[in-house]
């Protein structure tokens, strides 16, 4: 009974709870608090907005990742290209070093065989004390070694592609010991091999010098590089050093050209591409090299987008060449004897190039030309406006040219001082004249709106700061 009573009370409590929940639900529906459609729509909108935002973020992230991958790929390709190019240069340099070393080995073999032959000759003389026997024994001993040395040497010389400077010691050796080597080759029956080696070496020397001049004239030496500051190009210093080397050995040079000309049954001038004359061939060669260098520099000058910087570049290089040729007594003497106008022509061209550079400053100096002219008349407010306009234009142009030329360089200190002085004549002198002539207006401008940004001392100081990279 007790159990049934408890169960009945529980059932009544449940029924009351159900009724209470039903009433509460009816009230919520009636007042719109349980409108599931609106809730679902709101939830749907929020979900859609979140999906759109997530989609945009994902798209942006993918785009950024794609851009990063693309940039990384481009960077990787550039680095691989740079590494490949550097590796190619290194490989070429190593190959050239091997070729150059082979010529050094040839020189070592030739000098060694001479020493060994001399030792064997002394030994045979001591042992046999009979000329005929000594000659026969010596021939048997050194015939094969000399033959192998001469054959191998000619193979190396014929295959060599490099610089004349590397062949120079070997050429000097063969010329200096020509009689000794010729007699030795004759005694052992190898005269033909020696003559062939000598002919190959001298022809290779002439060929490499001609190739150097051709490549220099065509702009192949020095590449596309041009100094950003207009300084002396490495091709100028390299060519001048090569020229000094030739001048130091011009007697040997003449002998080489004479031997090659005799073998080819030509006149020396024909080897140099000139009309036949009896003058020394070496100075003609020097003139050809300097002419080719000027062509090379003119081609490189065309790479500058700024013609004024190009003019400064040519002025630097032509001045450097003329100065080096004048300081070197041997070069100067050779040029003065055979083509004295070459250096003066070089200096004239350098002056023209300097004028091309100074045109950039002439435009600024011209701003004051009208105001300094005797016929220039203005009064009152009109004069004040005219003066103000001129100073405004000057400030703008002066700032622009200083910003453009702040990295320009003049290699020679005395030349730099001279150019600064000429710039002052172009800019500072008319500036002072104009300021003096319009002193009252200048004073008013300075006090009112400070149009006088620079005074004469400031301009002079700024011009003196040009070409600070000189050395």
CATH number at residue 407: 1.20.1280
Q: Report pTM.
A: 0.74
What is the model's pLDDT at position 436?
81
More confident residue, 384 or 403: 403
| 129 and 110 co-located in one domain | yes
- Asked if 258 and 327 sit in the same domain, the reply is yes
Q: Which of 279, 297, 392, 384 is nearest to 339 (CA)?
A: 279
Q: Answer yes or no: do 337 and 394 share one domain.
A: no
3-state helix, strand, coil in the chain (%, to 5): 85, 0, 15
Residue 38 domain-assigned (yes or no): no
What would the pLDDT profile of 207-234 be if each residue is shown by its tens digit? 999 999 999 999 999 888 999 999 999 9
Q: Within 13 Å of residue 455, how many CA atoms lie on the same side as its CB?
A: 7
Q: Is 458 exposed, middle or buried (0-12, 13-18, 19+ CB in 10 A)?
A: exposed
Instruction: Choose from 88-97, 259-268, 352-361 the range with maximum mean pLDDT.
Output: 352-361
Residues 264, 348: one domain?
yes
Q: What is the mean pLDDT of residues 415-436?
A: 92
CA distance 270 to 258: 11
User: Would residue 339 be called left, alpha or beta, if left means φ above 0 and alpha means ψ between -120 and 50 degrees?
Assistant: beta
Residues 311/275, Cβ–Cβ less than 8 Å: no
> Could you tell me the pLDDT band of residue 410, with boundaries at 50, 70 and 90?
very high
* pLDDT at residue number 280: 57
Can you say whether the dihedral through the CA atoms of 444, 450, 454, 457 is positive or negative? positive
Q: Kindly state whether residue 56 falls inside one of the protein's structural domains.
A: no
Residues 207 and 89 in one domain: yes
Q: Quick one: pLDDT at residue 245?
A: 94
Per-residue pLDDT, averaged over 48-57, amounts to: 55
- Give yes or no: residues 170 and 96 share one domain: yes
Same domain (yes/no): 439, 338: no
Same domain, 332 and 376: no
Mean pLDDT within 237-258: 93
Least confident of 12-21, 191-200, 235-244, 274-283: 12-21
Which range of residues forms the domain containing residue 451? 362-464
- pLDDT over 80 at 256, yes or no: yes
The domain tally of the chain equals 3
Domain shared by 328 and 409, yes or no:
no
Is the domain of 353 the same as that of 390? no
Residues 201 and 290 in one domain: no
Q: Are residues 245 and 303 in the same domain?
A: yes
Of 359, 391, 425, which residue is a domain's last? 359
Mean pLDDT of 89-100: 62
């Amino acid at each position: 009974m007790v159990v049934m009573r408890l169960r009945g009370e529980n059932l009544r409590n449940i029924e009351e709870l159900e009724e209470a929940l039903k009433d509460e639900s009816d009230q919520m529906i009636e007042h719109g608090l349980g409108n599931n459609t609106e809730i679902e729509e709101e939830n749907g909108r929020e979900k859609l907005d979140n999906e759109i935002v997530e989609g945009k973020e994902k798209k942006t992230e993918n785009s950024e990742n794609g851009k990063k991958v693309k940039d990384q790929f481009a960077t990787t390709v550039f680095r691989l290209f740079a590494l490949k190019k550097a590796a190619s240069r290194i490989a070429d340099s190593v190959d050239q070093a091997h070729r150059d070393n082979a010529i050094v080995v040839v020189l070592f073999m030739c000098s060694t065989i001479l020493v060994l032959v001399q030792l064997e000759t002394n030994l045979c003389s001591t042992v046999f004390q009979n000329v005929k026997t000594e000659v026969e024994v010596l021939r048997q001993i050194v015939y094969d070694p000399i033959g192998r040395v001469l054959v191998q040497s000619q193979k190396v010389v014929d295959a060599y592609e490099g610089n004349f400077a590397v062949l120079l010691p070997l050429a000097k050796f063969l010329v200096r010991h020509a009689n000794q080597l010729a007699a030795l080759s004759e005694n052992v029956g190898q005269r033909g091999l020696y003559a062939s080696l000598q002919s190959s070496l001298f022809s290779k020397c002439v060929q490499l010098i001609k190739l150097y001049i051709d490549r220099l004239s065509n702009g192949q030496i020095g590449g596309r590089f041009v100094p950003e500051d207009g300084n002396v190009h490495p091709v100028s210093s390299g060519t001048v050093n090569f020229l000094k080397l030739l001048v130091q050995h011009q007697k040997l040079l003449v002998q080489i050209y004479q031997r090659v000309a005799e073998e080819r049954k030509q006149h020396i001038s024909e080897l140099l591409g000139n009309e036949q004359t009896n003058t020394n061939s070496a100075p003609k060669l020097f003139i050809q090299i300097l002419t080719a260098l000027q062509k090379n520099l003119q081609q490189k000058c065309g790479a500058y987008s700024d013609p004024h910087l190009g003019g400064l570049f040519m002025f630097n290089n032509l001045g450097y060449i003329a100065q080096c040729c004048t300081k070197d007594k041997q070069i100067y003497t050779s040029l003065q004897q055979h083509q004295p106008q070459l250096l003066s022509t070089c200096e004239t061209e350098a002056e023209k190039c300097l004028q091309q550079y100074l045109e950039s400053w002439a435009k600024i100096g011209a701003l004051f030309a009208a105001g300094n002219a005797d016929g220039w008349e203005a009064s009152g407010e009109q004069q004040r406006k005219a003066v103000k306009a001129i100073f405004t234009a000057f400030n703008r142009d002066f700032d622009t040219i200083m910003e453009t030329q702040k990295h320009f360089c003049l290699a020679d200190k005395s030349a730099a001082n001279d150019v600064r002085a000429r710039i002052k004549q172009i800019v500072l002198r008319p500036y002072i004249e104009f300021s003096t002539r319009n002193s009252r207006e200048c004073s008013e401008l300075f006090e009112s709106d400070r149009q006088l940004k620079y005074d004469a001392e400031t301009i002079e100081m700024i011009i003196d700061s040009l070409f600070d990279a000189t050395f």
